[in-house]
C-alpha cells in the first residue's frame, strides 16, 4: 500500500485523530480496529478481506515503520488475508493509509529528493535486482509472449489474448507498416519487437538493462529482423520511424524526464510517432512506495500528470492520452494465479518467503489499481504535431 506525505483524507480525518489518541494511550490494536472499521474491514473477521493477525507485534511495527513495516510483517508471516487485494483496495479508496508513513519512508523520500535515483550509475541496478531474478519465474507468471506490462482486456477473455490485443493496439496507434524501423526502449523479453516484426513486417531494435532479458529475447527472436541490446537509453542516437516504451518509464526518475524525452526526440524521424506506456500516480511524489522500492523495484518512481507533462515540455505534441488502468487489476490477478499454480515447479529455486513477497507485491498492486489510486496511461506523441490531427484508436 502506497505511503504518502499528504494529509489525511477529509472524510476520515476523525479516524486518524482517534488512531493518534489510541496509540498515545498504548492501544495500537484498538487504533487499527477503528481505522479499518471505516472501510468495513475487521481484524480477525470472517470475510475474505478481513486480515488475520498471527503476531500482535504487527501493530507496533505498523506505527513505527508505516506501510513498509506492514509489508515486511506480511512476508514474516505476522498477518494473513485471503483477499489481500480487496483489503488494500478498501483502505486506499478511503485514503486511510496516509496516517501511516514511518521514519524509514520519510528518510527514503529525503534521499530521493536530494539525489537522483535514475542516474546513469544506477541504470543497470533494476536489471540485476528484479528482471534477472530468473526467466523461469517470469515465464511461469506471464503470458506466452512474456509481456510484463498491463494487458488490454476490452475484447479479451484470457491473459494471452489480452496481451496480444495490447501489442496490436500499440502497433495500430503507431501506424506501423512493413519496412519501418522501430525502437523499443525497455524491450523486456522482446514481446513487442517480435510481435511487430511478425505481424507488421517492421525491423525492430530493443534495448534493456537486463542481461537475462536480452539473452532470452535474442533466442525467441531468432530468424526475425529484430536486434536486442544491453544498453542505457541515454546512449541511443540513431534514426527510427517510430519509438515505443512499454513499462520502462517508471524506472527513469523525475529528474531525468527531460533527458529521456530529448533522447526519444533525437531518435525519431520527422513524421514519426512515439508511444509511451506507463503507470501513473496521483501525486507529485519524489519517491516510490517504500515497500515496492525496497523489495521489488529499486529506484522506481511513478509520474504524475504534472511531472509527466513538465518532462515532455515542448519536445512533443501530445496527440492522444488513453487511460485503461482498471485493466491492470485483472492483469495482476492473472499473474498471481499463474505464480501460485506454477509454484510446485518453482519452489526448488524460490523459497516460501519469496512466494509471500511476490504475492504481496502482485495483490497489493492489484488493490491499488482497483481503488483507481494508480493509473495506466498510453500517450501518443509527435515531434511537431500530426497534420490535420491524430485519430485516436481504441
- pLDDT 10s per residue in the chain (394 long)? 333 333 333 333 333 333 344 444 448 899 999 989 999 999 999 999 999 999 999 999 998 898 899 999 999 999 999 999 999 999 999 886 655 555 555 555 555 545 556 666 576 888 988 999 999 999 999 999 999 999 999 999 999 999 999 999 999 999 999 999 999 999 999 999 999 999 999 999 999 999 999 999 999 999 999 999 999 999 999 999 999 999 999 999 999 999 999 999 999 999 999 999 999 999 877 667 889 999 999 988 899 999 999 999 999 999 999 999 999 999 999 999 999 999 999 999 999 999 999 999 999 999 999 999 999 999 999 999 999 999 999 9
Whether the model clears a pTM of 0.85, i.e. scores above it, the answer is yes
Return the bridge partners of 203, or none: 181
Q: Are 122 and 115 in contact (CB under 8 A)?
A: no
How many Cβ atoms sit within 10 Å of the Cβ of residue 114?
8
* C-alpha cell of residue 221: 527472436
Q: Report the pLDDT value the prediction gives residue 185, as an integer from 0 to 100.
A: 98
Residues 6+ apart with CB under 8 A from 279: 150, 247, 250, 302, 325, 328, 374, 375, 376, 377
Q: Report the pLDDT value the prediction gives residue 107, as an integer from 0 to 100.
A: 57
Q: Are 206 and 193 in contact (CB under 8 A)?
A: yes
Q: Looking at the chain, which runs of residues are DSSP E strands?
A: 52-53, 79-80, 181-185, 203-208, 226-230, 240-246, 268-280, 317-323, 375-382
- Report d(CA 206, CA 197) in Å as an integer: 12
Q: Report the pLDDT value the prediction gives residue 112, as an integer from 0 to 100.
A: 53
- Report d(CA 164, CA 148) in Å as an integer: 12
Q: Report the pLDDT value the prediction gives residue 27, as an integer from 0 to 100.
A: 83
Active-site residue flag, 267: no
How many Cβ atoms sit within 10 Å of the Cβ of residue 314?
6
Q: Report the pLDDT value the prediction gives residue 125, as an integer from 0 to 100.
A: 86
Q: Are 303 and 280 in contact (CB under 8 A)?
A: yes
Q: Are 278 and 246 in contact (CB under 8 A)?
A: no
Amino acid at each position: 500500500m502506497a505511503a504518502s506525505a499528504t494529509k489525511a483524507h477529509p472524510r476520515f480525518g476523525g479516524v486518524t485523530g482517534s488512531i493518534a489518541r489510541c496509540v498515545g494511550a498504548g492501544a495500537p490494536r484498538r487504533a487499527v480496529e477503528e481505522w479499518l472499521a471505516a472501510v468495513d474491514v475487521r481484524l480477525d473477521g470472517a470475510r475474505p478481506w478481513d486480515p488475520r493477525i498471527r503476531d500482535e507485534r504487527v501493530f507496533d511495527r505498523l506505527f513505527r515503520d508505516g506501510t513498509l513495516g506492514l509489508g515486511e510483517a506480511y512476508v514474516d508471516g505476522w498477518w494473513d488475508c485471503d483477499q489481500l487485494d480487496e483489503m488494500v483496495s478498501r483502505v486506499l479508496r478511503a485514503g486511510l493509509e496516509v496516517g501511516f508513513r514511518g521514519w524509514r519512508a520519510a528518510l527514503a523520500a529525503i534521499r530521493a529528493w536530494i539525489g537522483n535515483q535514475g542516474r546513469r550509475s544506477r541504470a543497470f541496478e533494476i536489471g540485476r535486482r528484479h528482471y534477472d531474478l530468473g526467466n523461469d519465474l517470469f515465464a511461469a507468471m506471464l503470458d506466452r509472449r512474456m509481456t510484463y506490462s498491463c494487458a488490454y482486456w476490452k475484447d479479451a477473455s484470457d491473459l494471452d489474448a489480452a496481451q496480444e490485443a495490447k501489442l496490436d493496439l500499440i502497433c495500430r496507434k503507431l501506424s506501423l507498416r512493413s519496412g519501418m524501423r522501430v525502437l523499443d526502449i525497455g524491450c523486456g523479453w522482446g514481446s513487442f519487437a517480435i510481435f511487430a516484426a511478425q505481424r507488421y513486417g517492421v525491423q525492430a531494435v530493443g534495448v534493456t538493462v537486463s542481461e537475462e532479458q536480452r539473452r532470452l529475447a535474442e533466442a525467441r527472436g531468432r530468424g526475425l529482423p529484430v536486434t536486442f541490446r544491453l544498453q542505457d537509453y541515454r546512449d541511443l542516437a540513431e534514426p527510427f520511424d517510430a519509438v515505443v516504451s512499454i513499462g520502462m518509464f517508471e524506472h527513469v526518475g523525475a529528474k531525468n524526464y527531460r533527458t529521456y524525452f530529448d533522447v526519444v526526440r533525437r531518435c525519431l524521424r520527422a513524421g514519426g510517432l512515439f508511444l509511451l506506456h506507463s503507470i501513473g500516480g496521483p501525486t507529485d511524489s519524489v519517491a516510490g512506495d517504500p515497500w515496492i522500492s525496497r523489495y521489488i523495484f529499486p529506484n522506481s518512481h511513478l509520474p504524475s500528470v504534472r511531472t509527466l507533462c513538465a518532462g515532455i515540455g515542448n519536445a512533443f505534441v501530445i496527440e492522444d492520452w488513453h487511460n485503461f488502468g482498471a485493466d491492470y487489476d485483472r492483469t495482476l490477478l492473472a499473474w498471481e494465479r499463474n505464480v501460485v499454480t506454477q509454484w510446485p515447479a518453482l519452489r526448488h529455486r524460490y523459497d516460501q518467503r519469496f512466494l509471500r513477497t511476490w504475492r504481496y507485491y502482485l495483490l497489493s498492486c492489484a488493490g491499488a489499481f482497483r481503488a483507481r489510486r494508480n493509473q495506466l496511461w498510453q500517450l501518443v506523441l509527435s515531434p511537431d504535431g500530426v497534420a490535420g490531427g491524430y485519430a485516436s484508436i481504441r
